[in-house]
Amino acid sequence: MKLPYLPDFDHSSFFDFLVRHHPSLVSGGEKSLSTGRAMSAGQMTSGAPLAVPHATTVLAVKYRDGVVIAGDRRATEGFQIADRRIEKVFKIDDWSAMAIAGAAGPCIEMAKLFQTELEHYEKLEGVPLSCEGKANKLGQMVKANLPLAFQGLIVMPLFAGYDVKRGEGRIFKYDLAGGRYEESDYHAIGSGGKDARNTMREHFRKNMAEADVLSLALMALYNAADDDVGTGGPDLVRGIYPTAKFVTAQGIIDVSDEKIRAVYDGLIATRRSREA
């Protein structure tokens, strides 16, 4: 007998529910899986263009109270700038945030799906998922997107969560196959990720204060924008600045535009004085 709204399903995962009952709503559902299999062998094996998600720098750095997660604002279409104000850092729930690199559409969809997933689990089970559990679930979602990644629609998340049980912030990076790797101090992904990591490697210290870690994160983004065409720097004319969030025991705290502008004003003044 068919019951309205009582489908035959008994898991606490919203993602699995969509895959089973509404596959058209989820990348990695049955339809996209079949198109994935239809790819030619040549495309499947030419892994080179897959290796690097393009046109973004997002990063996460641990500090005394948790993790700061930040990203630039530029979206590109080939050699054109598609959007100057796009948001790449998302609050997922009260203790976690993620930043994304890759194709904008699927990236934003995955962030939204992940938000729903965690809220759904919390409501059904009465308790939120553990930090580790959230990181693993995100890995499964990245894995489900693999067929689309072969078609060029890459989604590459960077996950920052506050582990309430351990009382510390944690950073997880992923590979295209859904592999999940924990980073001990900091990480950056996207086309400017390497440049950002170089900056952080030079200046990172354990247990930094909030103001110091924010300047480090923003400086790393600035340097990445300096060397990478796909990464947008601070736009002084339009007043568009990178976005950042603190992931702490108190929740996810948005860093205000004024605060970020003040850091960049200082940084730019220092750089300018070197040119004189």
Of 56, 76, 231, 248, catalytic: 56
With beta carbons less than 8 A apart as the criterion, state whether 119 and 273 touch: no
Distance from C-alpha of 257 to C-alpha of 239, rounded to nearest angstrom? 9
Known catalytic residue at 56:
yes
| Smallest separation, CB 227 to another protein (Å) | 38
Q: Is 1 in the site for another protein (CB under 8 A)?
A: yes
DSSP H helices, the chain, are 14-21, 30-37, 41-45, 48-51, 104-125, 131-144, 146-150, 193-203, 210-227, 257-275
Q: Is 126 in the site for another protein (CB under 8 A)?
A: yes
- The site for another protein, by CB under 8 A, has a size of 20
Q: Is 166 in the site for another protein (CB under 8 A)?
A: no
Q: Reduced to 3 states, what is the DSSP secondary structure of residue 182?
A: strand
**Judged by CB, which is closer to another protein: 123, or 205?**
123
Taking CB under 8 A as the criterion, which residues in 10-29 touch another protein?
14, 17-18, 22, 25
Distance from C-alpha of 163 to C-alpha of 233, rounded to nearest angstrom? 31
Q: Is 95 in the site for another protein (CB under 8 A)?
A: no
Q: Going by C-beta distance under 8 Å and a sequence separation of 6 or more, which residues neighbour residue 261?
A: 234, 239, 241
Would you report the helix, strand and coil content of the chain in percent, each value rounded to 5?
40, 25, 35
> Which residues share a beta bridge with 155?
102
**Judged by CB, which is closer to another protein: 14, or 186?**
14
Q: Is 3 in the site for another protein (CB under 8 A)?
A: yes
| Smallest separation, CB 215 to another protein (Å) | 29
**Judged by CB, which is closer to another protein: 5, or 79?**
5
| Smallest separation, CB 113 to another protein (Å) | 7
Residues with a catalytic annotation lie at: 56
Which residues bind to another protein, rule: CB under 8 A?
Answer: 1, 3-7, 9, 14, 17-18, 22, 25, 112-113, 116, 119-120, 123-124, 126
